[in-house]
Amino acid sequence: MLSDLDQIRQKALHALESIQDETSLEAFRIAYLGRSSPLMQVFDQLGKLAREERPAIGRRANEVKQALEAAFSTRSDTLRQAALLRSLQTERLDVTLPGRVLPLGRLHPATISLRAIVRAFADMGFQVYRSPEVETDEYNFGLLNMPPDHPARDMWDTFYTSMPEVSLRPHTSPGQIHVMRQYAPEPIRAILPGMCYRYEQINARKETQFNQLEVLAVGKNITLGDLKGTVSDFARRLFGQNIRTRFRASYFPFTEPSAEYDFECLLCNGKGCTVCAWTGWLEIGGCGMVHPIVLQNGGYDPAKFSGFAAGLGTERIMMLKHRIEDIRYFWSNDLRFLEQF
């Protein structure tokens, strides 16, 4: 029995030497240290041996078992080390190389401009209201006091859709009707920003898409003075205390009286330059007192309520502030332009 055990040990250690991979190592473990291995059978048979033989054989069996286990774990470590070394050599990874920097996004100049404008109006108590970019003829024109064939429709070059009577909005003014119909007879102080579309011959000043911001206040005793005060205050909040504003009489079918308002040229401080065509003033937008018919269409009794409205081009403000000479830069997606803001 003792010599059997020595033989087992010898055979096992010899077999172990030639093992080169994890699979044969596992096969070795099952063959020499597993439940039905010859070594384990010796342990099973200990009980059947003569009393005096048992201690010596038991001791030797344990020695062999410990020796095999030790050799097994040494071999296992060696194999793992070798595998690690191999993968380090073949799958080289240089962790000292600098990483690739992801380009960071930024706000579009139109958004920067819009946010500044919204902040100025929000500070004066105006709330942002969203209205659709696709409207019916009725909202775009009819309810704004321009029945079909009204000549004033020529002021807005419109994109019609294949659906009759449906067009992209050429201005944010139809939003006036939406807000009024939602809030009548409550007082309103709202701004409506958003994209507008016009069928235009594109040039440095005109694009087929652009952002507008509608300003609307409806309530009791709202006067032209409130309109002028609000527009002038807006100019000061955006461009500083010293900026001057002026109003020129104009015509819109949905306001009466109507005006266009100018800000003192920001580039020459009113002295006259190429941007303001030597007038010292820059045209910002249209405005006026909401027409009684429009108030009525919105659900307000014009005998009791009055209101003012104004519209401004938000890209325009950005152009003035940064001396951008061509509106086409805004939507042409040229990073050399966009990255300057």
**Which spans of this chain sit near ligand PHE (rule: CB under 6 A)?**
171, 173, 252, 255, 285-288, 309-311
**Please, what is the minimum distance in Å from the beta carbon of residue 224 to ligand PHE?**
13
Nearer to ligand PHE, 64 or 217 (CB): 217
**Please, what is the minimum distance in Å from the beta carbon of residue 290 to ligand PHE?**
8
Closest CA to 146 of 249, 312, 297, 259: 297
Nearer to ligand PHE, 42 or 287 (CB): 287
**Please, what is the minimum distance in Å from the beta carbon of residue 144 to ligand PHE?**
8
SS3 of the chain? CHHHHHHHHHHHHHHHHCCCCHHHHHHHHHHHHCCCCHHHHHHHHHHHCCCCCHHHHHHHHHHHHHHHHHHHHHHHHHHHHHHHHHHHHHCCCCCCCCCCCCCCCCCCHHHHHHHHHHHHHHHCCCEECCCCCEEEHHHHCHHHCCCCCCHHHHHCCCCECCCCCEEECCCCCHHHHHHHHHHCCCCEEEEEEEEEECCCCCCCCCCCEEEEEEEEEEECCCCHHHHHHHHHHHHHHHHCCCCCEEEEEEEECCEEEEEEEEEECCCCCCCCCCCCCCCCEEEEEEEEEECHHHHHHHCCCCCCCEEEEEEEEHHHHHHHHHCCCCHHHHHCCCHHHHCCC
**Please, what is the minimum distance in Å from the beta carbon of residue 207 to ligand PHE?**
14
Sign of CA dihedral 132, 137, 139, 145: positive
Nearer to ligand PHE, 245 or 255 (CB): 255
**Please, what is the minimum distance in Å from the beta carbon of residue 161 to ligand PHE?**
20
**Please, what is the minimum distance in Å from the beta carbon of residue 135 to ligand PHE?**
13
- Quick one: angle between helices 109-123 and 314-322, nearest 10? 110
Nearer to ligand PHE, 285 or 298 (CB): 285
Nearer to ligand PHE, 5 or 319 (CB): 319
**Please, what is the minimum distance in Å from the beta carbon of residue 313 to ligand PHE?**
8
- In the chain, what's the furthest Cα-to-Cα distance? 127
Nearer to ligand PHE, 287 or 324 (CB): 287
Does residue 184 contact residue 178 with C-beta atoms inside 8 Å?
no
Nearer to ligand PHE, 168 or 310 (CB): 310
Nearer to ligand PHE, 64 or 310 (CB): 310
**Please, what is the minimum distance in Å from the beta carbon of residue 196 to ligand PHE?**
7
